[in-house]
Amino acid sequence: MLTLGQTAPDFTLPCDGGISFVLSAAQPAPVVVFFYGQDGTPSCTNEVMEFNTLLPDFAAAGVKVIGISKDKVAAHDKFKAKMGIGFALGSDFGGQMMESWGAFGEKLFFGKQVIGVLRSTVLIGGDGKIAQMWKVDKVKGHAAEVLAAVRGL
């Protein structure tokens, strides 16, 4: 599990467009890493699009944004093209990165205990340390909350 103040574990994930995202290569820029369930589902699409709408503000603050799901890269390519998404969508198809970051596990889904992606966000400072973490229960307004935290760095 991740803790505030620890150095974020480095990762490399394949992304849409045939690129890879390497966390350590993003430094010294702060990075917002958010985990979501699946491209094209209503709540996940809303979350991705809220981050996308605020992308110019994140960019003005010098922050990189990456959304990560277990979707394959081909699905990300289609989703990104359809929705006009301006940031990287990483594919953790096997879920190993999500598990190690505490973003995959048991959750309540429509009243049933299931195993799946735990919607969450991690803000990593330019020094590579975890500045803030969120377990996301409500998508609406979450990206703005993260942006406010970014501005407080």
55-65 pLDDT per residue, tens: 999 999 999 99
Catalytic one among 44, 75, 131, 150? Answer: 44
The pLDDT value given to residue 115: 78
Q: What are the angstrom distances between the C-alpha of 43 and each of 29, 58, 107, 129?
A: 28, 21, 16, 29
Domains of the chain: 12-151 (3.40.30.10)
C-alpha to C-alpha distance for 113 and 141, rounded to whole angstroms = 26
Asked if residue 28 has pLDDT above 90, the reply is yes
Q: What is the mean pLDDT of residues 39-49?
A: 95
44 is catalytic: yes
Cα 110 off chain centre by:
23
Helices (H), the chain: 23-26, 42-53, 55-60, 73-83, 96-100, 142-151
Q: What percent of the chain has pLDDT over 70?
A: 99
**pTM score:** 0.94
Asked if residue 110 has pLDDT above 80, the reply is no
